[in-house]
Structure 1
Amino acid sequence: MKVSNIMSRRHHEPGDRLASKERLSGLSDGVLAVSMTLLVLDIRLPDGLNAATFTTAFFNLLPRFLIYIVTFALCSSYWYGQHRLMDRMRVVDGGFSALCLLFLFFITLLPMVMSTFGRYPTVPLAVMLYAFDLACCGLSLVLLTWYAVFHRGLLEREIGYQVWEHALYYGLPTSLLLLCSLLALLFSDQVLPVIGGWSLIPGVIGLGRLIRRWRLLRLGKRPGLSDQPE
């Protein structure tokens, strides 16, 4: 009887693990989709405008729209990183699920902190909350990747180092730049220079890409095509 129960559990275990992975992936996609949709709901013109006031109200809305573009772009990059990681997972365990939920927690805060920043763009605390949440999204994704890579048996193939390298070169620098902006606001209430510093994010990501390509070329690999362990 005991042998039969053990064989039954072994028979259903792969399917249960696969279902767990699919449920977690579905939850992640759903949370990210809803959060990214909520980002745009706060961008709207006030009611009761006439032809004379419409133009002024429209141009006053442009800063919020620019904040939305930045937030949507970063949220999209977080979705891509998490989706790329989930595609390479063989199974998920409790620790991975907990870290994934932590990542999703910070994602769900994005509509609130973006709305606050859009309403009070010159208030240091509003800027700090926005930058802190974006940094936490990136760092929690890096932590999630670290857990998947350095816990054997979770990844589908032995490509852990490449996945970890991708997180280090693309995800970590952006989060560190945002954290640096937080430190700057702790010593100064000048918001505009800090916000202007965020324009370095695309350059930081591009630099990470170049460093990774240079490293792969030194190792005799073709960038983007090598998923084999070193």
Structure 2
Amino acid sequence: MKLAKNRLESFSDGVIAIIITIMVFDLKPHELPAGFSNRDVWNILLGLVPKILAYMLSFVVIAILWLNHHALFDKVQHSNSKLIWHNVFLLFAMSLIPLPTSFLAQHPTLPQAVMLYGFVMFLNAFAFLLMRRYAEIKAKLIPYNKKIQRSNWIGTALYLLSIPLALVSIYLPFIIFVGIPLWYFLPEKLHQ
């Protein structure tokens, strides 16, 4: 059954905007104590640094997901119920991003926080991979793109690898967390 894609795109854009809004609510400084000093202010501002860094990282990931979602649906002429459910799974995975972002911001050196972040990023990459594979291979709604499929598989595998790596070193997963978004900013010709 062919379905119009415009409602799916509008719904997705709305959900993604809400996810970003929810994430920004976590960027609150602690209350200043009564009779606070200049040092208290600086300590509170420095305490925001992990939150801002976690927010920036997750914001960039969400932006990349949104851009890839937009690029995918720009090529799709129509939708069907299975593609909608794949999209719903992706939106579910994206809606989880504020949770590990907040936990990681509060406990950046805790392996469990790093593992949770890696798991949710894996879930997002996997959901997008499934949706793209369905659109290209199963439903043939868009032409197959080997480069994009390979890139999606690599990102998904690296996010999965980040989970056990957190038990070895909390710094190795951060290389993955920062490296994957950087990969998407490289010129297209370097992805070959």
Segment of structure 1 superposing worse, 34-43 or 203-212:
203-212
Segment of structure 1 superposing worse, 114-123 or 194-203:
194-203
Query: After superposition, where does 1:60-209 map in structure 2 within 5 Å?
Result: 60-152=47-139, 154-155=141-142, 160-162=143-145, 165-169=147-151, 171-186=152-167, 188=168, 190-202=169-181, 204-205=183-184, 206=186, 209=189
The structure number with the bigger radius of gyration is: 1
CA distance in 2 between counterparts of 1:119 and 1:97 reads 35
Question: Which AA in structure 1 matches 2:190?
Answer: L
CA deviation after TM superposition for structure 1 residue 32, in Å = 0.6
CA distance in 2 between counterparts of 1:180 and 1:209 reads 26
Question: Which AA in structure 1 matches 2:19?
Answer: S
> Which consecutive residues of structure 1, in runs of 5 or more, have no partner in the other structure?
1-12, 213-230
CA deviation after TM superposition for structure 1 residue 91, in Å = 1.7
CA contact (8 A) 2:29 2:45 kept: yes
CA gap of 1:181–1:43, structure 2 versus 1, over 3 A, is same
CA deviation after TM superposition for structure 1 residue 136, in Å = 1.2
CA gap of 1:85–1:76, structure 2 versus 1, over 3 A, is same
CA distance in 2 between counterparts of 1:197 and 1:150 reads 28
Question: Which AA in structure 2 matches 1:58?
Answer: L
CA gap of 1:118–1:209, structure 2 versus 1, over 3 A, is farther
CA deviation after TM superposition for structure 1 residue 72, in Å = 0.6
Root mean square deviation of aligned Cα: 2.3
CA deviation after TM superposition for structure 1 residue 149, in Å = 0.8
1:42 aligns with 2:26: yes
Match of 1:30 in 2: 14
Q: Percentage identity across aligned positions?
A: 24
> Which consecutive residues of structure 2, in runs of 5 or more, have no partner in the other structure?
none
